Chains A and B, each alone.
Chain A
């Protein structure tokens, strides 16, 4: 059957997302039948690479999954291995791990806010065109990213795919004087970070509130980043070891991709900045709390367009946390603790810039990896993104194809999807049949 209003739209590529994927929207008559975000999932291949490797290797191997959030992959990996082996690094190693993760948040969020997301709000096709008119703004974004990368370089050995992280701690720990030099750079970044919050808070945001259940780590007393307990806005609370009992992946009839959902729940769930802020805003440090309040954020934020404000607030948060960690830092006597292999299964979870990242490793007695599972945030968010896009398109069917395509691209970028990890195109097709 055909419809009078049937149309097929094809756009070449969506820029400014991390990675490769495709969005396909099918419209029949006046109704959206399907919005499908096809994601090619590199972690599936990494799970296969990992089998047969040594228990000491996952931090280095999984870091290669993503150039934007390697620390997240390293963190969830060492957590899982250490959970099997019963390893408990001391407080200074724990502090350095949080510091390194702060660096990744700052660098990743600065990239997304300035280079990927802000051009949408200011009417530019991309950061290059925005830079032509607003060189100072883009320079400010790059300076923030540089501050985050500086942490990664000092602690990780290099900004992309850090090499200093190991199971049990670090290969080498920085001296106090080294971190003191870093502190000055981070303190200098605070003002540009606060200006960023004010700047993005002034953008125009459409009224929108998503109803998904929200999933994030929480850690009473501080904003959860590199560890914590999983909680949802619907009242669930569970440890990393219970992740696969609560989060199930399944085939759905309308898509070739696996969808994640919370076991026993009907609706979709969302992880990432909106979830973190809504579930943990009371634990933001002082400057970030004040910045969020001044930006008009309440205790929760369920508008994906306003996620740019949350990311800006989280840059401030990560800078504050990093400065505080450096202020209290004492170089540990050993950069890592010994980790003896043990048979068993371990689970790790942390807050990647885009949301909860889960890993599981099965080890045999000599530490050989028998099985691995990686569940990145973007694949968890896929169902929620598709549902939001379907509603988004349904409300805008009167737009011509070009305008609708452009707005869909913007809506996708709200979620900062990291489809990536190696290649780089997101194609958009809208079939109006």
Chain B
């Protein structure tokens, strides 16, 4: 990606629901490590707010916890969507995300409104524990470095 660009990284989740806090934890890990001008946003995943957060962005990277995939806890998952896709993977059903009304709905809503970012990359980590309370499970906590590294790799790839 060359020339003027708007890039946002959005961490979705609730740090008081154990592994649901993986997205915000990844954002904290990224602070001070992303290129100048890249916006870092923490969101609870409400679809209207996600659409607002990435509206007009050339590149949006979303980081979220997921549950119910075939991956083991701590396993990473990456999917892309964007204006160029027709019916991309990300808006099939509510859920790779741990937010039933969140990411899938947000992608579909943005698509209906013509407000998808140029490229949307979703990084997710399979959670083990979505119970009440702060703190990540060992498996997810150990995966945050790799999750942040995967986001940084995407930023390097797209911004150079």
Contacts and interface: CB of A to CB of B under 8 A. Distances in A.
**In the complex, which of the residues A129, A161, A421, A422 has the most CB atoms of chain B within 10 Å of its own CB atom?**
A422
B48 A145 contact: yes
B108 A42 contact: no
Contact of A132 (B16, B42, B112): B112
B109 A131 contact: yes
Interface in A126-147: 126-129, 131-132, 135, 138-139, 141-142, 145-146
Given A45-B132, A64-B15, A423-B130, A160 B113 contact: no
A165 interface: no
**In the complex, which of the residues A13, A42, A45, A142 has the most CB atoms of chain B within 10 Å of its own CB atom?**
A142
Contacts of B101: 15-16, 424
Contact of A13 (B49, B100, B108): B100
A135 B114 contact: yes
B14 A64 contact: yes
A71 interface: no
Interface string B7-49: 0000000111100100000000000000000000011101111
B72 interface: no
A149 interface: yes
A127 B99 CA distance: 17
A42 B132 CA distance: 8
A68 B14 contact: no
A32 interface: no
A329 interface: no
Interface string B83-101: 0000000000000001111
B117 interface: no
A115 B109 CA distance: 10
A386 B140 CA distance: 39
Given A142-B52, A422-B16, A160 B112 contact: no
A203 interface: no
A128 B50 CA distance: 14
Contacts of B109: 127-128, 131, 138
B108 A424 contact: no
A159 B46 CA distance: 12
Interface in B108-160: 108-109, 112-114, 130, 132-133
B17 A422 contact: yes
Contacts of A146: 52
Given A67-B44, A149-B52, A160-B44, A423 B100 contact: yes
Interface residues of B, number: 28
Given A145-B48, A422-B17, A423-B130, A128 B108 contact: yes
A99 B138 CA distance: 42
A425 interface: yes
Nearest to A64: B16
Interface in A95-110: none
A424 B12 CA distance: 14
A305 B109 CA distance: 25
B98 A423 contact: yes
A111 B52 CA distance: 13
B73 interface: no
A45 B14 contact: no
Interface string A402-414: 0000000000000
A64 B24 CA distance: 13
Contacts of B44: 67, 160-161
A16 B114 CA distance: 22
State the 4 A-B residue pairs at the shortest beta-carbon distance, nearest first. Answer: A67-B44, A424-B100, A131-B112, A45-B132
29 contacts: A16-B101, A42-B16, A42-B132, A45-B132, A45-B133, A46-B16, A49-B133, A64-B15, A67-B44, A67-B46, A111-B46, A127-B47, A127-B105, A128-B108, A131-B112, A138-B112, A138-B113, A142-B113, A146-B52, A160-B42, A160-B43, A160-B44, A161-B44, A422-B14, A422-B20, A423-B100, A423-B130, A424-B99, A424-B102
Interface of A: 13, 15-16, 42, 45-46, 49, 64, 67-68, 111, 115, 126-129, 131-132, 135, 138-139, 141-142, 145-146, 149, 158-161, 421-425
Interface of B: 14-17, 20, 42-44, 46-49, 51-52, 98-102, 105, 108-109, 112-114, 130, 132-133
